[in-house]
Each structure stands twice: as C-alpha cells, then as structure tokens.
Amino acid sequence: MTERRDPALLPAREQARRIRTGSLSAADLLGACLARVERHNGELNAVVTLNPAAEAEAAAVDASLGAGEDPGPLAGLVVGIKDVTETAGLRTTYGSPLFAEHVPGEDALVVRRLREAGAVILGKTNTPEFAAGGNTWNEVFGVTRNPWNPDLSAGGSTGGGAAALATGMVSLAQGTDLGGSLRIPASFCGVAGLRPTPGLVPTVPAAYLWDDLQSTGLMARDPEDIAFGLRAIAGPDPASPVCAPQPRWPEAAATDPAAARLAYCGDIARIGIDGGVASVCGEALAALRSAGARVDDVDLDLSHAWDAFLVLRGHWFVSHFEAELHRIDAFGPNVSANLRAGMALTPADIGAAENVRRRVREELLELLERYDALLAPCMAIPPFPAEQNYPETVGGRPMETYVDWIAPTFLLSMPGLPVACVPTGLDAAGLPVGLQIVGPPRGEGRALALASAIREARPIGLPPAVADH
C-alpha cells in the first residue's frame, strides 16, 4: 500500500466518514492498522497487548451500519489504550512487574465511552511504570522507540500511543497527562496531543478520586481529530467529583490565524533551549506573522513554581498509592522516588504549593486577557537515546531528577488550562519539534484550531520508514 491509498494513514475524521458512507469497512480499516502493527511494532514496541476481540468489534460495527443503525460518532475508528487505563478482560499491567498479569473486570470510563461511540480497541500501548517518566520503558515490556529514529526516545509517558499513531497503527491514542504525558511524546513523535482541562474526561476508577492535577485525553495525527474524538467522550459522570464544563468548539476555520493575538515565550522554565529547537520554533513564529498574526515575545518566568509542582506530584503519588505504601521498595526507581518524596511532605508544604499553583493560574489568566493563546516550545531538547531514563543535562544545566527536563510541560500543567502540542517543523537531524499552545478556560477548541492552522502552515509529513512504504 502507498501512503496515499492506505486507509490507516488517513485522518480519523476521514476514516469515520468513509466507514459511514460505505466506501471503507471497519474490518478493512482494522486490517490496515494491524498490517502497520506487523510492519513497525517489532522495532518500535508501541503496542504491548493486542485485543483478541478487535476483529469481532469491527465486524459488529459493520453489521450495525449494514442494518441501518448508528454505532456512534467514532464508528470503526481504531484506538490504542494506554496501559495504565483499565480495559475489561484485557491485560492492563500499568507497566509494572507487580501487575504483569492483571486483567481488570471493568473498563475505565474513557474506554467505556470510546466503545459506546463505536470505536474498536486495538489493544494497549506502552508506558513507563504507572506513567512515571518522560521516556517510555518498563521492566515488563521494555523500551518504546521513536518512529523518526528508533535509536531515540519516543517520549513519555504516552510514548506507545504516539509511536503507534505516527506509524498508522491506530486512528486515535488515549492517554493521560500529569506533567506532560500527552505532549512530550506528541512532540518527539511528530503528532498532535492535547492536555484537556482536568475532569473534561473524568478519570475513573481512581484511588485518588478528587484528582484535579492529571487529565485524561487523546492524541492524533491531526489536531482536528482530537476535537472530533473528545466531543464523543467528554462530559461529567456521577462517579467522579471532578468535572469541567464543555469547551467552546470552533471549527478550525473559526480561528483565523490572521486575526490571532499570540504571546510566545521560548523558555518558561529557565532551563535553556537547544538551538535546533529554538530555530524551528522561530520559523513557525515567522510563518504565523507572515499570515498576519500578531505574535509578541513575552518574558514569562514560571520557574518559581518548579518546586511546588514536585510537591504536588509527591502528594499525588501518595494519594494514588496509599494502599501500596507497605511495598514501596517493590516499585521501580521513578515511582518509589515519588512516593518517598510525597511521604516526606508536611501539610504546610502542600498548602504552600497549592498557593503557588493558584498564583500561576492567575498569572496565566491575566496574560490570556490580552492574548488569544500562549505559545511555548514543548521540549527544550530533541529526542535523546532511548536507553536513557532521562537526559543528564539541558543547556549545560544538570538535571537532578527524572522530571526536571520536562519542566516546560509540567509548569503548564499547574494552572489547569487546556494545552495542545502540535509539530511545527523538523530540526537539522530530521526530528520533529513540538509547540505548546495554552488556551483560556474552556479553550480546548481554540487551542486545537490554532494547532491545526500551524500544522497546515508547517507540515512535517510522515516518518521516513512510514512514507517509504
């Protein structure tokens, strides 16, 4: 199959349209995606458990359409589920040897909604242990590799989903984002990601039921596909006390780049930025200005919130793993380090961190009164060797913990605003560079529309190994 004719590489919206009109069957789309798994997964290790019922699910969609029924807005789309998200009857390991054979008895809410919308579950995508890490590896399944260069990291923690998307194994990838897990791999793998407002898609079941720091969301090859998928799965649920109001959903054409007022900050974390990353982002800004957008460089320093995020993350881990603290030493280094950090916190530490978080939100809201969105590089560096847990230095500055290098994303997790990531070009080594777009409250639609406009102005194509087939 060529790139042009392979249905696995079409935008998800186009796949859905063809399935509804009968020019493509759900079974044929699944077959095309499975052929991509066969071709690329042995090298990349993106999909770690295939769903044995996937063919039956696709056949059920085709039968429903054949009977004149409506299987749902995502009918026939092939979705990868991050291996920290429960799937009934399908192994969910959380990337942990402690749960290597765990099979949940029920679907997580997001999986249930995807099924109800007609999606076909391809299987589970790789993640670090309990999603703790910006590089995707674990002791159960090993390392996930970058589709643009398999020697390099795919990012994390939704790295398996991003690598699967970039190679056409899935139409959409479900994931979670605490400190950047839907944006880091999107940037490294050249796809689009969105950290939605926490609670837009409730994260249940969860031990930490009042969690308002992590988000559940989607990645796609096209930002508009994320909006298409989110419309089908967003909304409150009685099981969750954390919910967000429905976004405003403009179509891409409703956000005119020529009329946009945009702020740009190249280093919100003050950790420095790779010259190649800075250059690609500069080219993207020039393209936006040429299209008529007003893009102002702003001096936004969020590094004062660095320690506060680490406090909140430690509290988050203890809240999620309180029932497992008796075996803290059995977890891998990333999870156990977070648990120990969380257990050392005092109530005063947590209270102070929450107040820093409040001030960050106030600062961002003030900025977004003057601008339609804030733009910032997603990653300060290009992808690093896949076998490294994390890069040792960024801009010559030593990284003390495995999360320090992802400060450009975790600092933008704190205010609870929607943040998109879109590829905005390739560096001199041919690797994708992602740009973050922070929208206002309920601004998922705006962020994704701007992401779509940037993608159209700065297309990067497919990874060479995909485009060559």
Measured distance CA(8)–CA(14) in Å, rounded: 10
Closest residue by Cα to residue 83 from 34, 45, 44: 45
**Given 96, 157, 336, 413, the catalytic residue:** 157
Task: Tell me whether residue 415 is exposed, middle or buried, using C-beta atoms within 10 angstroms of its C-beta: 0 to 12, 13 to 18, 19 or more.
Answer: buried
3 state DSSP class of 377: strand
**Given 25, 82, 96, 153, the catalytic residue:** 82
Measured distance CA(207)–CA(229) in Å, rounded: 26
3 state DSSP class of 140: coil
Contact criterion met (CB below 8 Å) for 260 and 294:
yes
In Å, the largest CA–CA distance within the chain is 63
Find residue 81's DSSP bridge partners.
Answer: 124
Please confirm, yes or no, whether 157 is among the known catalytic residues. yes
Closest residue by Cα to residue 368 from 416, 437, 440: 440
Helix axes 223-233, 12-21, angle to 10 degrees: 60
Please confirm, yes or no, whether 181 is among the known catalytic residues. yes
**Given 25, 153, 171, 181, the catalytic residue:** 181
Tokens of residue 179, six digits: 């400190």
Which residues are part of the catalytic machinery? 82, 157, 181
